[in-house]
Amino acid sequence: MCQYVFDASRIDTSPGNPLSPFSPPHGWDGEKERYRDWLLREFRVNPNFRQRLGIAVRASSMNKELHVFGCFRTELLEIIETFGKKGR
């Protein structure tokens, strides 16, 4: 499968998935707080990540169904829900 064709409603947070910008590197042993730090770094340096996060945030704001799975599902959903809101 081409890495540029994706289902934007399906988001994997499992470590080691090269097709998901929300997936930390293979062998990732970080805790949930480290995952959030990793996401912040990716946001700063990875345009693909920023674009995919923007798609997820927009879909969420339009009440579109997102299928987020993997070990960091809860953390990513919280970030998507609070992205751009004051006091987060």
Please name the residue that has the structure tokens 């609070």: 82
CB 70 within 8 A of CB 77: no
Helices (H), the chain: 32-45, 47-61, 73-82
Separation in Å, CA 69 to CA 17, 35, 44, 45, 59: 12, 14, 23, 24, 16
Tell me whether residue 65 is in a domain: yes
Tell me whether residue 68 is in a domain: yes
Tell me whether residue 62 is in a domain: yes
pLDDT in tens, 45-74: 999 899 999 999 999 999 999 999 999 999
Tell me whether residue 1 is in a domain: no
pLDDT at site 1:
47
Tell me whether residue 88 is in a domain: no
Tell me whether residue 4 is in a domain: no
Q: Which domain holds residue 57?
A: 10-82
Which pTM value belongs to this model? Answer: 0.84
Total tally of structural domains belonging to the chain: 1
Tell me whether residue 47 is in a domain: yes
